[in-house]
Amino acid sequence: MNGPVVRLISFSLMTLGVFFSLASAIGIVRFPDVYTRLHAGTKALTGGALFILFGAALQCGSWQAAAKILLIAGFFLVTNPIATHAIARACYRHGILPEPAHLDHYGKTLKRRDLK
C-alpha cells in the first residue's frame, strides 16, 4: 500500500482534515456564544479528525495497524457528539440561554415536569 497514488490520496485526505480542524479552532475563538462555539467544536472537529485518521490508515504497513486506526476513528465518532450533548444540556440547565431564543421546547418540557 505504498504506491504513489495511494500516498497522494492519503496526503490530500490529511490536508483536508487539517483544514477542517483549523476552521474548527478559528470558530471556537470567534463565535459569540457558548452554543455556537459547541457547533464549531463538534462538527468540524469530528470531520477533521476522521479525515486525518483515514489518511493515516491508508499509509499503514500492516492491516492490523490500519484496523486499530479505524477503531480509533469509530470511537471518536461515537464519543465526541455525546460529550457535546452533555455540555450543551449542562449549559442550559445552568441557566445560560441562547440569544435570541425563538423556540424553547426544552424549557417548556422542564416547566411541565415541575408543575406535575
Partner 1 sequence: MNPALTGFIFLLLIATAVSACLMKDILSSVIALSVFGVLLSIVFSILQAPDVALTQAVINSGMITSIFLVAYSQTMKVRSGEDNTRVIKTYYPFRTDEMVILFICIGLGFFLWKGIVPMGFSSLSGDAANHYINFAGVETGASNIVAAVLFDYRGFDTLGEIAVIFTTVTGISILFEGSRYHRSSSGLSFIVRRSMAFVIPLIILYASSIVLMGHLSPGGGFQGGTVLATASICFCVVYGSSFEAARIHPWIKETLESTGCLFFAGLGLIGLCTGAGFLANGAAGFPLGTQGTFISGGSIPLLNMAVGMKVGAGLSSLFYSMVKILEAPFEGIPGEVE
Interacting residue ranges for partner 1, rule: CB under 8 A: 32-34, 37, 75, 78-79, 82, 85-86, 89, 93-96, 110, 113-114
CB of 7 to partner 1, least distance (A): 18
| Closest C-alpha among 76, 80, 25 to residue 53 | 76
Q: Is 3 or 95 the residue whose CB approaches partner 1 more closely?
A: 95
Q: Is 23 or 72 the residue whose CB approaches partner 1 more closely?
A: 72
CB contact at 8 A, 7 and 55: no
CB of 95 to partner 1, least distance (A): 4
Q: Where are the alpha helices (DSSP H) in the chain?
A: 4-30, 34-39, 45-58, 63-94, 105-115
